[in-house]
Amino acid sequence: MAAILGKDQIVAMATIYDIAKACGLSPATVSKALSNASDVSAATRERVRRIAQELDYVPNAGARALSQSRTWSIGVLCQDASQMGLWHYLFAQVIESFKDYVEQHGYDIVFVSNKVGNMGLSYLGHCRYRRVDGVFIVNTDHSQKDARELMESNLPKIAIDFENEHIGCVKTDPAESMRMLFTHLYDLGHRNIVYLHGERGKYITEERISALEKAAAASSDKTVNLRLFPSKYYSIEGGFDSMKKLLLATKDDRPTAVIASDDYSAIGVIEAIREAGLSVPEDISVVGFDGIEITQRTNPSLTTIRQDTKAIGEAAAKNLLSQIAGEADVPKTVSLMPQLVIGESCKDIR
């Protein structure tokens, strides 16, 4: 192994041959020990790793990739027009859970973008450039050309809240989630309910609208007046603006309860209600979706659906790793159970 020569000279990295010489073993045995091969004793593996650590040995990622047909890196795509990305509590927690799981199995993560320098790479182009073994699509505009190209590729992949014939997903069961929210409001006596939904055409928006309408129909109560009103996802300002417009549009038939598209929007909804001189929950009850922690510290605390971010991240990681290992090649959807969190933002009007 070469020594440090001078401040402007390169320091040579320790190699497998250096470890072999220090251990008195063959390079092949050292290589097997470092890759946890079963035909090397535990004592030998431990000795090799100890010496490798003492020599500051760092595996050559390129050589490892060539020998195992993997790069041991996974792409994570979290980029869309909402500009929330990693700012969003839900996405950040899901990615953290995913990252923890894949790191335990030897993988690094690479954030995927179509804005890398001036290279003009698409999402798929970036994945190929980084030679990732698979990709986790957390948040993107699924109708956008680059996103479609990535989802239709043969790269192992898994998404959150989106599925088609090319890709499976992990999601919190929308049917059960919306049934829980509707039933909670219905049991409190609410019959005049508005859903401030996210952007129409999005997979998860249509899933939740359909589920809510089915829950309302299942009540067989003709006094139920369920209305839809457009809003935005992940935007306090969007929730505020939509609620102001809703109050103006429903002066003569104001809803007793509002379902916000998500918790961030619900915060804006509550602000708009208060600005109009009304109160939550005395005049209008409000529920959210996602279960972000801060909404349990607001006044009033928010009734919402909590998504299990740890379970979502782990389920996505397991699914993707099984595809990379060649154990699964058919898109698979994992549907997780939601949890209804009862806050103080709803009033019993029976």
Distance CA 80, CA 115 (A): 12
Q: Is residue 68 part of a domain?
A: no
Q: Is residue 2 part of a domain?
A: no
Say if residue 273's pLDDT is above 90. yes
Tell whether 195 and 289 lie within a shared domain: yes
Tell whether 281 and 314 lie within a shared domain: no
- Average of pLDDT values for 196-225? 96
- Joined together, the tokens standing for residue 136 give 């986790």
- To which residue do tokens 């916000």 refer? 260
Tell whether 166 and 288 lie within a shared domain: no
Interval 146-182: pLDDT, tens:
999 999 999 999 999 999 999 999 999 999 999 999 9
- Average of pLDDT values for 73-102? 84
Residue 3 burial (CB count, 10 A) = 6
Of 43-47, 114-118, 123-127, 270-274, the one with minimum mean pLDDT is: 114-118
Q: Is residue 344 part of a domain?
A: no
- Average of pLDDT values for 40-46? 88
Q: Fill in the DSSP letter of residue 152.
A: T
Say if residue 9's pLDDT is above 60. no
The region, left, alpha or beta by phi > 0 then psi within -120 to 50, assigned to residue 347 is beta
Interval 74-83: pLDDT, tens:
999 988 666 5
Distance CA 38, CA 280 (A): 63
Residues 6+ apart with CB under 8 A from 30: 16, 19, 20, 23, 48
Tell whether 113 and 199 lie within a shared domain: no
Domain span including residue 153: 73-171+310-336
Distance CA 56, CA 46 (A): 15
pLDDT score of 152: 94
Q: Fill in the DSSP letter of residue 86.
A: G
- Average of pLDDT values for 295-309? 95
pLDDT score of 237: 95
Q: Fill in the DSSP letter of residue 303.
A: B
- Joined together, the tokens standing for residue 108 give 């690094």
Q: Is residue 94 part of a domain?
A: yes
Q: Is residue 136 part of a domain?
A: yes
pLDDT winner (highest mean) among 164-168, 224-228, 332-336: 224-228
pLDDT winner (highest mean) among 113-127, 287-301, 324-338: 287-301
Q: Is residue 298 part of a domain?
A: yes
The model's pTM is 0.80
Q: At 289, which CATH number?
A: 3.40.50.2300
> What is the number of structural domains in the chain?
3
Tell whether 240 and 273 lie within a shared domain: yes
Distance CA 300, CA 316 (A): 34
Distance CA 176, CA 182 (A): 10
Strand-pair category, 73-78 with 108-112: parallel
Count CA atoms closer than 13 A to 207's CA, side-chain side: 15
